Amino acid sequence: MPSSVLPISGCRQGTYVLLEAVLPARPPCPVGVLLIDLDTGRPWLRMRGDFACLAAPEDAEVFEALEDHIRQCLAESGAEAFLQSLEDSLSNSLRVSQRQAVSVDAFSRVLDRLYREHVEDTQVQRFATHLPLFSLRAAAGGLSDEMLSEAEDWVPAPEGMHLSPDLFVAHVEGQSMEPRIPHGSLNLFRLHPAGSRQGKILLIERFGVLDESARYTIKRYTSRKVVTQEEWRHEQIRLEPLNPAFEPWDVDPEGFAVVAEWLRVIE
């Protein structure tokens, strides 16, 4: 199977609970989301950072230290054991909701959505805090005003990264670029890369291919050039998988277009 972009739909299963603060004279208030990957047991946690508007100063101080405590417990005992302990011994100030099943394409994306739906409707700041999530066909359209309206979602960007309008994220399907790009992973791309393509991993559109699943591919680009006194030309362009179980392709310079450069795996 060639590496391509996965349709944006849940393909893994997770379970989540809401962490609720129970304070005197106040109804229970969701303050965080704990999401668990059922296949691996990996936890994904997001908590409020500001409790001053929800609790008295002494209570707010306790809740603001809660996230570090929970992360430590998750690391020491594992997600399932920690969640079970919360369910078995409800606190007077912290409770958990019933477990809910959720289909997941990317846990970071689903965690962000659950947090905004149930805890705090934080603003999505396009190209400041979030990046567009595209299917491969949308990404191949180029970054235009029309394309922006077709983003299928906006997902949290990697922390500490300078964002720009030529960045987007997409799912990659297939084993040909493993282990560097895992099957089903969420990845960061930059549209229309400048400079030399040699050795870069590129998102490529192949012309003359009717099968949509094979029209787009992600491969490492290598080329060999012939230089004369007046000009240079490509003698060979090869699209290489990273997995040795897959064969490279030799392509004609007129037979493909570079859509974007792969930058990194996000999840």
Q: What is the mean pLDDT of residues 17-46?
A: 88
Q: What does the pLDDT read at residue 140?
A: 42
Give the 3-state secondary structure of the chain.
Answer: CCCEECCCCCCEEEEEEEEEECCCCCCCEEEEEEEEECCCCCEEEEECCCCCCCCCHHHHHHHHCHHHHHHHHHHHHCHHHHHHHHHHCCCCCEEECCCEEEEECCHHHHHHHHHHHHCCCCCCCECCCEEEECCHHHHHCCCCHHHHCCCCEEEECCCCCCCCCCEEEEEEECCCCCCCCCCCEEEEEEECCCCCCCCCEEEEEECCCCCHHHHEEEEEEEEEEEECCCCEEEEEEEEECCCCCCCCEEECHHHEEEEEEEEEECC
**pLDDT tens-place string over residues 200-224:** 999 888 776 665 555 778 899 998 7
Q: What does the pLDDT read at residue 149?
A: 36
Q: What does the pLDDT read at residue 150?
A: 57
Q: What does the pLDDT read at residue 27?
A: 78
Q: Has residue 94 got a pLDDT over 70?
A: yes
This prediction has a pTM of: 0.74
Higher per-residue confidence, 226 vs 26:
26
**pLDDT tens-place string over residues 106-153:** 898 899 999 999 998 888 899 999 999 887 654 444 333 333 335 788
Choices 3.90.79.10, 3.40.1160.10, 2.10.109.10, 1.20.1250.20: CATH for 127-265: 2.10.109.10
> Mean pLDDT for the chain?
81
Write down the domain spans for the chain.
12-118, 127-265
